[in-house]
Structure 1
Amino acid sequence: MTTTSAPDERPSVAMRDEAYGALRASAALWAGTSVLITNQRGQILLERVTYRPTRLLPGGAVDPGESPAKGAVRELEEELGVTATVTRGLAVDWVSPAGRTTPPAMKFPGELLHVFDGGVWDDDQIAAIRPRPGEIDGIEFVEPADLPTLMAQDDARRALSARRARINGAGPVFLEDGLPIAPTVLDRVGVLRTARARHHLRFHNRRVPDGLTVRQSWAWAFAPDGRVLVLLEPDTGAACLPGGTPEPEDRADPETTLIREAREEAAAELTRTRYLGYLSEPGEPCARVRYAAALTSLGPTTADPATGRTYVRILATPEQAVEFFDWGPPAAEQLQAVHQARGLLGIPRAGRQPVTELSGPIAW
């Protein structure tokens, strides 16, 4: 038999099956698969393996005739002793011959490596892990910002890109040597490359007690579609909600602090503010208050007079916003209060969708 339309020849040229097969085989690549799993704090599961000094996501080579998804399921069972399903892809990475350091004798031809979403594992799922003796020394959950110090650089880039893709929720991303070919705002700013703010502070849905100093006033500022305003530091990728620390001109009024800080940081105008509660810090007699509010407009981006930074402004669902921080178990109680206030504001719950950058003025 003959085959037409060879990849490097005119469509009118016919090739025998043997020649066509040899041509395609000469361009063969490795195929790999891996799984990104997080705990309920958003930390990423890494394996300590016996055969290399750096950590890895669970995964490995795809067997002949095996799909990448089935390979991911098999690797989870072989390496961690767990039975799981994977139905959602996060990334497909073209790992070039120059993108990975390998011994010359290996003749690495390049690889297509798939990253699947293993989901968020609870304590019972984590306790059921049984690392494969002789291959997996153990597992650990690590902060995304720590990946570059624990993994090979290409592996760290890929894992971070996949983690951002999961947050963004736009579907699988295509990578080249770990970097997206079409970066989102989360990639461009470098979200998660620096340590997330860690505040495992108790949330109290009541008024601040007398005598407790208010140190901070932040808002969950809702756009009409149910998403909230999040500010990203352009130099670090760190996230914060609009708001800040009290100044003397605020006259000890947290709501005044909030409105002033939102205007200074993000050129954001807020209305219909609703008090949610406060966070307490053990050993420190202070409170960090939280509000919900409706966004009415955003002006042109300007530098925050307190820090000199011009924040990148995005809209994200409240659930996406929580993933930018390490707030621990109390985050669930705060999120519940946020959605109760959203309902009282008459704002719909936002469905899963990609984050949106707000670069110019906008009014609602």
Structure 2
Amino acid sequence: MSDGPEQGIGTAEHTHRMPRKRAAAAVLFTDGAGRVLLCEPTYKQVWEAPGGAVEADESPRRAAAREVDEELGLAVAPGRLLAVDWVPPMGGRTESMVYVFDGGRLDPARAESIRLPADELSSWEWCTIPQAHERMRPLVARRIESALAAAETGATAYLEAGYPVG
């Protein structure tokens, strides 16, 4: 007799020895002109999409919602997954997975309600893709560009270092 779907397949002890990856999640918001919402952090020179690290035992989708609430003061239920980006080790950081979810079109009234944490973000702005490439690290700008294309086509993009694969 089986106690459930896990019965008979062994224990999960071997998973404790497996490599772990960092994870982050972001939400892509657009306006009526097809621009994307980008945030200017107080602690670095480059802009970012709303989002951040996935905490232990937290799903990427839940992390995306939490980060948008913390960073913009907006309660959202992120939409479908637009892109997954594997980021190789670089700059002293280990490899990571970044998940980008659809935030949909943010109407002007809702955008007016954005409240930034002064210790973390100094401003936000609607940006075109060329502006994203000017303000963001190249890898992150490529990710945002691919996520926007996926939002427009209904696809989900798989990326490596911001470049579409497959």
Tell me the TM-score normalised to structure 2 length.
Answer: 0.90
Secondary structure class of the residue paired with 1:52: coil
* Deviation digits for residues 196-253 of structure 1 (CA, Å, limit 9, x no counterpart): xxxxxxxxxxxxxxxxxxxxxxxxxxxxxxxxxxxxxxxxxxxxxxxxxxxxxxxxxx
* Deviation digits for residues 17-44 of structure 1 (CA, Å, limit 9, x no counterpart): 54x13431xx111010001111111111
Taking the aligned partners of 2:11 and 2:63, their CA distance within structure 1 comes to 33
Write out aligned runs for 1:224-239 (5 A).
none
The answer on 1:23 being equivalent to 2:17 is yes
Taking the aligned partners of 1:89 and 1:17, their CA distance within structure 2 comes to 28
Taking the aligned partners of 1:17 and 1:43, their CA distance within structure 2 comes to 45
Write out aligned runs for 1:87-102 (5 A).
87-98=79-90, 102=91
Instruction: Tell me: CA distance 1:96–1:122, structure 2 relative to 1, closer, same or farther (3 Å).
Output: same
Tell me the TM-score normalised to structure 1 length.
Answer: 0.42
Residue 16 of structure 1, CA deviation: 7.8
Residue 114 of structure 1, CA deviation: 0.1
The residue that corresponds to 2:51 in the other structure is 59
Ranges in structure 1 where 5+ consecutive residues have no aligned partner: 1-14, 183-364
The residue that corresponds to 1:286 in the other structure is none
Taking the aligned partners of 1:114 and 1:21, their CA distance within structure 2 comes to 22
Letter in 1 for 2:109: D
Taking the aligned partners of 2:143 and 2:130, their CA distance within structure 1 comes to 13
Q: Pick from 121, 136, 153: which aligns with 2:106?
A: 121
The residue that corresponds to 2:6 in the other structure is none
Taking the aligned partners of 2:12 and 2:37, their CA distance within structure 1 comes to 45
Taking the aligned partners of 1:17 and 1:121, their CA distance within structure 2 comes to 43
What is the alpha-carbon root mean square deviation over aligned residues?
A: 1.5
Aligned residues of 1:89 and 1:114 also touching (Cα < 8 A): yes
Taking the aligned partners of 1:151 and 1:142, their CA distance within structure 2 comes to 11
The answer on 1:162 being equivalent to 2:154 is no
Aligned residues of 2:30 and 2:104 also touching (Cα < 8 A): yes
Instruction: Tell me: CA distance 1:16–1:40, structure 2 relative to 1, closer, same or farther (3 Å).
Output: closer
Taking the aligned partners of 1:164 and 1:121, their CA distance within structure 2 comes to 17
Letter in 2 for 1:31: A
Taking the aligned partners of 1:32 and 1:146, their CA distance within structure 2 comes to 23
Taking the aligned partners of 2:20 and 2:36, their CA distance within structure 1 comes to 31
Aligned residues of 2:79 and 2:104 also touching (Cα < 8 A): no
The answer on 1:133 being equivalent to 2:114 is no
Q: Pick from 45, 55, 70: which aligns with 2:62?
A: 70
The residue that corresponds to 1:174 in the other structure is 158
Taking the aligned partners of 2:79 and 2:36, their CA distance within structure 1 comes to 19
- Bigger-Rg structure (1/2): 1
Ranges in structure 2 where 5+ consecutive residues have no aligned partner: 1-9
Aligned residues of 1:28 and 1:109 also touching (Cα < 8 A): no
Write out aligned runs for 1:307-326 (5 A).
none
Letter in 2 for 1:157: R
Residue 87 of structure 1, CA deviation: 2.6
Instruction: Tell me: CA distance 1:23–1:47, structure 2 relative to 1, closer, same or farther (3 Å).
Output: same
Q: Pick from 143, 165, 178: which aligns with 2:128?
A: 143
Letter in 2 for 1:81: G
Taking the aligned partners of 1:87 and 1:40, their CA distance within structure 2 comes to 17
State the percentage of identical aligned residues.
36
Instruction: Tell me: CA distance 1:21–1:40, structure 2 relative to 1, closer, same or farther (3 Å).
Output: same
